[in-house]
Structure 1
Amino acid sequence: MSTIELAGLRENVRGRVIDSDDPGYDDARSVFNGMIDRRPLAVVRVSQVADVIATVNFARDNGLDLAIRGGGHSAPGFGTLDDGIVIDFADRIGVHVDPAARTARAEPGATWADFNHATHAFGLATTGGIIGSTGIAGLTLGGGIGYLARKYGLSCDNLISADVVTADGGFLTADESQNADLFWALRGGGGNFGVVTSFRYRLHPVDTVYGGVVIYSAEHGESVGRFFRDFIAGSPEEFGAFYGFHQGPPVPFLPEEWHGTPVCVVVGAWTGPLDEGEKRWQPVLDAAPVLGSFLGELPYPSLNTLFDPLQPKGMQGYWKADFLRSLSDDALRVAADFGSRVPSVETANHFYPIDGAVQRVAPEATAFAYRNVDFAPVIAGQWHDPADNAQNTRWVRDYWEALHQYAEPGGYINFMDADDQSRIADNYQANYARLAEVKANYDPANFFHVNQNIAPAVTGA
């Protein structure tokens, strides 16, 4: 497409239209996963909803593929593409808090670090992710597992409404009373149905928490896993934590001899009365010999960014995910085996509990269908050197294949990679048919397909 044709797009947006002739093009086309190297025709740094409408119309009318980028953390690199148009919300990171109503309205370029900074000023929060640089948009649309899920549900369970630009360039609001079918689909169905330009969330009183990290040798991984399975099931929902495997991080509370060595971890926080925090964490400290720990009172936003130094943009990445009905002895045996061979400091293998408030929502109430399982395991392989791509990707695949025999058919879409498209229907169980119908209503031509794609239902003959 010629520069003259792109000029028509520039005339209709107030944000920046960045193409290959611009000096900032390489930065604009890059995403979190350095394994993804794509060259879009243009990246549109939108400044307002009118820019989104104009860009959707331009891409559709010119037969161009469209990618939507919020935080850009998508492992498959769905926030960029070759030869198409990228809507980039990097300049739209505003968060407006209504402390009296305990709600917040956020723009889709905001990260959880942005969001938590804004809400913490009022002693409030909602369920977000584990990494501060993760975008609110992608996490919420895919479900949204985080430290507060046991007490307050998923991110999508706390979504009150969303403003959406549809494939025909229309603009609408989706909530329980308006476009309720679309609102249902947005809560777990990903970016299949339109471009969300605003999210409104319910907030909860979460301010200072008691939490942090406890690290054990990987040789104790199986026994710590059995402890964690029973401990979390019997703990109040104010205890939000996960179990997993890393390499020992270069932190002062872990002896240097364990840096870069496979370790087992329990990470999270007690969000109940602070004077109970030490007592609530003591069983975790007693579960196995502790190599190092960092526990105490800390602001909730600090908990949400603990791993950020280990998650710089540009690493190579390959991810897999599942759901486990329980953290069985068989699953723990697999976890301990592969956890003892974690390939890099940046690789994260976590088992997130999704009981409590998550399970009090009916499976058919939102698109997120797995409300009857207790854990969501994720295997997020990340590393710096492209020379390690083949062996580290193989570790992730082998681990997932060994674990999947004990798992449910579907998995958490926010941690799936590009080669997981065949699992789409399994990810949504009985909700898939309804999602396909909603897709047919709002995007019958499957214009929004650069995602974990739900094909529109085919009706009539």
Structure 2
Amino acid sequence: MDKRFPLEDQIDMLASSLRGRVVTRRDAAYDEVRSVALGNFDRRPAAVIRVANVADVAAVINFARATDLELAVRSGGHSVGGHSGTEGGLVIDLRDLNGIEIDGETSTVWAGTGLSSGDVTRAVEQHGLIVGFGDSGTVGIGGLTLGGGIGYMVRKHGLTIDSLLAAELVTAAGDILVADADHHPDLFWALRGGGGNFGVVTRLKFRLNPLPSFVGGPLVLPATAENIAKFAELADAAPDALSTIAMVMPIPPVPFVRAEFHGRLALIGMMAFSGTPDAATAALAPFRAIATPIADLVGPAPYSAMYAMDPPPEMRPAVSCRSRFVDRFSVEAAAKMLAALEACPSPMKMGQIRVLGGAYSRVATDATAFAHRQGKIMVAFLAMYEGGADVTAHFDRWATGAVDSVSEKNAVAYVNFLGIEGGEGLRAAYPGSTWDRLRQIKAKYDPENLFRLNQNIPPAA
């Protein structure tokens, strides 16, 4: 840092060279702009830079490198590890990079990483096309995609990264690159699952998949161990056109469920069928036969309707989350899930079961930096609550203990659901040769580890 000028003056000089907006502690909008989606984190950066274009990103990276200021990157702000903010450093805020270019002839889209999953979904479904993102429409497409993207199209079209064709990014050296299968293929491999370790991604190019007809929505069933295990068994045997996410959680006070069930644990199966209503009826019949549904809202709808249960953005709960990949989900495991949820004091807690397979499993394990293609089921536990660091520590321990109870302790994990775990937790996301290869690529594109506010992969020596 240049000691001849106070930091505030240096940031003002940076601001004068950018097209975007620089927000500092002197600005009335500072607290609003610096806030992130999860209430666990309340960090106060020296400045938040709402970049306007890729040149702004390059300028901020060069400034951070010259001043030795810690650099955070924010897309949607949902980082479970709190990496969307920094204490005293700089935040590159991508939310104004919200351009979208849909090419119907080639069935592709270039989307800015300031967009959310819901933004892109609502735009492309107007053309009868889809990208498979995650299970929330408010999450930014940047972080979601770079970690893999496990959502409602996972059996039909694979992970989000399986539809990724190219990425525009700025490296630690300030270089603007487009990485794809033919240009910087090592970097393109690493970006598909390796997180934000290799640069600031500003745009993503996706292949758009046809979706002429869709049937989906929540199927709410009684939460017994037998019902949960049967749901997982049926999801594994279902056609690839049907992807599910089973959520075992207290029923919120929603109007489509009778009040007597509100607050009680239930199995909410989010059903997503790519096909006609007649074909969906046949695929869904075994699930409806598990037990008399508490509620059944599965029907023809726009794909974006899957995001209708998203909480409003002004809600900023603290969240603790842990995940593991397992080979099966037995009645015994389901009973342990129910016991863990009953023991959790948070009013809103959840056990998730995402049965994989289909297109997800047909990609080679080493084709991308996401190395868990043989994983059959992803299990996750989440707790949402209010409180400080001591409360977060308590619920982090609960989530860890809960996932340990239903899986082997050293089983692999999903990087987008990792908290502040480091060490063993991070290696669970990148096993064996994947870790070594990522470290080599990190050394090539970020040898000084400028991009370290993430699930950090240190450069190889």
TM-score (norm. length: structure 2): 0.94
| Offset of residue 66 of structure 1 | 0.4
Contact 2:150–2:160 (CA<8 Å) still a contact in 1? yes
Q: What is the match of residue 18 of structure 2?
A: 13
Contact 2:226–2:331 (CA<8 Å) still a contact in 1? no
Alignment of 1:262 onto 2:265: yes
Contact 1:380–1:415 (CA<8 Å) still a contact in 2? no
Counterparts in 2 of 1:139-218, with a 5 A limit? Answer: 139-218=144-223
Q: Which runs of 5+ in 2 are unaligned?
A: 1-5
Change (3 A) 1:286 1:408: farther
| Offset of residue 75 of structure 1 | 1.5
Contact 1:348–1:380 (CA<8 Å) still a contact in 2? yes
Change (3 A) 1:365 1:230: same
Counterparts in 2 of 1:415-434, with a 5 A limit? Answer: 415-429=417-431, 430-434=433-437
> Which residue of 299, 303, 314 corresponds with 2:302?
299
Partner Cα separation in structure 2 for residue 391 and residue 169 of structure 1: 41
Contact 1:311–1:346 (CA<8 Å) still a contact in 2? no
> Which residue of 205, 216, 233 corresponds with 2:236?
233
Partner Cα separation in structure 2 for residue 365 and residue 13 of structure 1: 38
Alignment of 1:52 onto 2:57: yes
Paired AA for residue 340 in structure 2 = F
| Offset of residue 326 of structure 1 | 2.2
SS at match of 1:347: strand
| Percent identical residues | 35
Partner Cα separation in structure 2 for residue 117 and residue 10 of structure 1: 34
Partner Cα separation in structure 1 for residue 259 and residue 205 of structure 2: 44
> Which residue of 397, 401, 408 corresponds with 1:398?
401
Q: What is the match of residue 92 of structure 1?
A: 97
SS at match of 1:364: coil
Q: Which runs of 5+ in 1 are unaligned?
A: none
* Alignment RMSD: 1.8
SS at match of 1:191: helix
Q: Deviation per CA, 1:391-432: give whole Å up to 9, x if none.
A: 544432321232343x65320011110124432223111311
| Offset of residue 92 of structure 1 | 1.5
Alignment of 1:244 onto 2:247: yes
| Offset of residue 24 of structure 1 | 0.5
Alignment of 1:283 onto 2:286: yes
Partner Cα separation in structure 2 for residue 426 and residue 54 of structure 1: 35
Partner Cα separation in structure 1 for residue 127 and residue 157 of structure 2: 18
Paired AA for residue 102 in structure 2 = V
Change (3 A) 1:353 1:82: same
Q: What is the match of residue 3 of structure 2?
A: none
Partner Cα separation in structure 2 for residue 191 and residue 126 of structure 1: 21
Contact 2:167–2:178 (CA<8 Å) still a contact in 1? yes
TM-score (norm. length: structure 1): 0.94
Change (3 A) 1:310 1:379: farther
| Offset of residue 455 of structure 1 | 0.6
Answer with 30-39 or 205-214: which moved more.
205-214
Q: What is the match of residue 37 of structure 1?
A: 42
Partner Cα separation in structure 2 for residue 348 and residue 95 of structure 1: 34
Q: What is the match of residue 358 of structure 1?
A: 360
Contact 1:188–1:366 (CA<8 Å) still a contact in 2? yes
Paired AA for residue 424 in structure 2 = S
Q: Deviation per CA, 1:246-301: give whole Å up to 9, x if none.
A: 11022222111111122122112211222222232222121123222212111001
Counterparts in 2 of 1:419-458, with a 5 A limit? Answer: 419-429=421-431, 430-458=433-461
Partner Cα separation in structure 2 for residue 68 and residue 281 of structure 1: 41
Q: What is the match of residue 75 of structure 2?
A: 70
Contact 1:215–1:263 (CA<8 Å) still a contact in 2? yes
Alignment of 1:128 onto 2:133: yes
SS at match of 1:400: helix
Task: Report the number of matched residues.
Answer: 454
Change (3 A) 1:373 1:209: same
Partner Cα separation in structure 1 for residue 356 and residue 281 of structure 2: 23
SS at match of 2:325: coil
> Which residue of 268, 272, 276 corresponds with 2:275?
272
Contact 1:421–1:453 (CA<8 Å) still a contact in 2? no
Contact 1:246–1:263 (CA<8 Å) still a contact in 2? yes
Partner Cα separation in structure 1 for residue 395 and residue 20 of structure 2: 39
Change (3 A) 1:271 1:300: same
SS at match of 2:428: helix
